[in-house]
Amino acid sequence: MAEEDKYIDAFRTTLPVLIDKEMYKVRKQQRSLILLVCVLLGVNMLLFGAGLSLLLYNRQQPVMVQPVAVPAATNALTAPETAGPESIPEPEPEPEEVPEIIKRVPPAPKPRAKKEPVRKEPATELLRTAGHVPEYVLTSKGMTLQNLAARYYGDRVFWVCIFDYNSRVLKDPDVLPLGIRLRLPRKEEYGIDASDPSSLRRARALAKSLTGR
């Protein structure tokens, strides 16, 4: 118990000293902060006073106005009207107006655009084109199954072969979607021969069975 009392007494004696030291540090920091604020305020006041004095000095400066030279014509106008009759100039005679003859030129006729005749491919060219059948074509505006059949197979009746070959993407032979890859069947697959009447009959029969035409 004696040792505990010693510790308690030592703590009681050292605690006020520690508190005083901490309070001294806090007061010192407060004083430094107050001093810094006062310095900043003083600098701001000096800057404000300098700006205000400069503004007042600029307002007090007189504005220099340069004299404007008066042209000689104004002096003649401001002359006294008491001049004699000799000083009054005589009016000059006005020139006679000459009528101008305006010739109206009719506008030139606009050149008419020449209409190029629509070129029809003869049967010989169709037969030459029909010799080579590509694997597919990309559909464009104005393209029809009949035109493709006449171009690559030599007769429009073979359109039904193209329609049947592309039955997955074509639902109506009269509606050809734009920008699709349309496959063209080989002649051997449907027995296509424009010079064979039996081949033409088979194509017509196929068209009737598929579309009722």
Provide the CB-side half-sphere exposure for 52 (13 A, CA): 6
Distance CA 25, CA 56 (A): 47
Query: What digits encode the pLDDT tens for the residues 117-136?
Result: 544 444 444 444 446 899 99
* Identity at 210, one-letter amino acid code: L
Cα angle 143-147-152, degrees, rounded to a multiple of 5: 115
Q: What is the pLDDT of residue 60?
A: 75
Stretch 97-108: mean pLDDT: 54
Stretch 184-210: mean pLDDT: 94
Distance CA 144, CA 150 (A): 10
- Provide the CA 193 distance to its chain's centre, in angstroms: 55
Single pTM value for the model: 0.41
